[in-house]
């Protein structure tokens, strides 16, 4: 059980990383990763919604007729998004302001839909929590990495602290929309290059192991 939990969790974090592997949720990824605080905040908000909605949808998966399942998912997801929005407005008004419309838009975030449809609707609640947690944190990590690159190159700061010195001329493009596409593409190249090497190594090891068994 614990093993399965970890496996599902790691699957979302790395192997099926929603940003770099599934290429889901591109709209918030490109839009909010202008500063580390935004990326991190967006990721954590999505993680919360994802874990809760996965859990609830998995609980009700046997009662909801399949014809009305999408509206039912939306009601569940929208409930948690409303909770997140109210909490952010109350306790982190600055973050809530800078994320703006993208918080309510979590309702239609395709990562959440994809996980509800592809995982929570078919699996038990505990695995669904693991999946939500893995996918959510995978999304959070990707957003944090992307926004760190963009904030560092674009403004020379990290989380608002000047890292590259006061004389660093910010490469403004990286905080603008084209910089989002550029950073996403180049980071995805790096991620896939590293993952490809790891996969190849794993496959080689497996082949060797199978060979010795035979």
Partner 1 sequence: MSTMSVSLSPHVRSDNSTQKIMRNVIFALLPAAVFGVVWFGLSALLTLVLSCASALLAEFLMVKALKRPFSLNDGSALVTGLLLGLTLPAGCPWYVPVLGSVFAICIAKQVFGGLGDNFVNPALAGRAFLLASFPVAMTSYPTSRFMADAVSSATPLSSEFAGSLSYADAFLGLMSGSIGEVCKLALLLGGIYLVIRQIIDWRIPVAYLATLALLTALTGGNALDAVLLGGSMLGAIFMATDYVTSPVSPWGRVVFGIGIGIINFAIRAFGAYPEGVTYAILLMNIASPLIERFTRPKKYGEVKKNA
Binding residues for partner 1 (CB under 8 A): 169, 171-174, 176, 178, 182
Task: State the minimum distance, in angstroms, from the CB of residue 59 to partner 1.
Answer: 47
What lies within 8 Å, CB to CB, of 150 at 6+ separation is: 33, 34, 35, 174, 175, 179, 180, 183
Task: State the minimum distance, in angstroms, from the CB of residue 171 to partner 1.
Answer: 5
Please state, in angstroms and rounded to a whole number, the distance separating the CA atoms of residues 157 and 37. 11
Task: State the minimum distance, in angstroms, from the CB of residue 148 to partner 1.
Answer: 18
Phi, psi torsion values for 99, nearest 5 degrees: -80, -30
Please state, in angstroms and rounded to a whole number, the distance separating the CA atoms of residues 34 and 37. 9
What lies within 8 Å, CB to CB, of 158 at 6+ separation is: 36, 148, 151, 152
Task: State the minimum distance, in angstroms, from the CB of residue 191 to partner 1.
Answer: 16
Alpha carbon distances (Å) from 88 to 26, 61, 145: 22, 29, 22
Cβ proximity to partner 1, 26 vs 182, nearer residue: 182
Q: What is the DSSP letter of 14?
A: I
Cβ proximity to partner 1, 31 vs 114, nearer residue: 31
Please state, in angstroms and rounded to a whole number, the distance separating the CA atoms of residues 199 and 14. 12
Task: State the minimum distance, in angstroms, from the CB of residue 125 to partner 1.
Answer: 45
Cβ proximity to partner 1, 100 vs 185, nearer residue: 185
String of b and e for 14-53 (b: at least 16 CB within 10 Å)? bebbbbbbbebbeebbbbbbbbbbbbbbbbbbbbbbbbbb
Cβ proximity to partner 1, 65 vs 169, nearer residue: 169
Cβ proximity to partner 1, 114 vs 182, nearer residue: 182
Token pair of 169 as six digits: 């001329």
Cβ proximity to partner 1, 68 vs 194, nearer residue: 194
């Amino acid at each position: 059980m614990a093993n399965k939990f970890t496996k599902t969790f790691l699957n979302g974090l790395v192997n099926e990383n929603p940003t770099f592997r599934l290429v889901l949720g591109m709209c918030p990824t490109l839009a909010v990763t202008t500063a580390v605080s935004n990326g991190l905040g967006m990721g954590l908000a999505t993680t919360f919604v994802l874990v809760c909605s996965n859990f609830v949808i998995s609980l009700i998966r046997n009662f909801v007729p399949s014809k009305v399942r999408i509206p039912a998912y939306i009601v569940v997801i929208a409930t948690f998004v409303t909770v997140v929005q109210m909490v952010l407005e109350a306790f982190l008004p600055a973050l809530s302001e800078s994320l703006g419309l993208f918080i309510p838009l979590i309702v239609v975030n395709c990562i959440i839909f994809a996980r509800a449809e592809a995982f929570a609707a078919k699996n038990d609640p505990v695995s669904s929590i693991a999946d939500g947690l893995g996918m959510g944190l995978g999304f959070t990590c990707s957003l944090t990495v992307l926004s760190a690159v963009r904030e560092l190159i674009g403004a020379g700061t990290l989380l608002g602290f000047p890292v590259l010195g006061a004389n660093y001329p910010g490469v403004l493009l990286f905080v603008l929309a084209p910089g989002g596409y550029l950073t996403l593409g180049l980071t995805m190249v790096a991620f896939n290059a590293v993952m490809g090497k790891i996969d190849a190594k794993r496959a080689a090891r497996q082949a060797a192991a199978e060979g010795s068994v035979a």
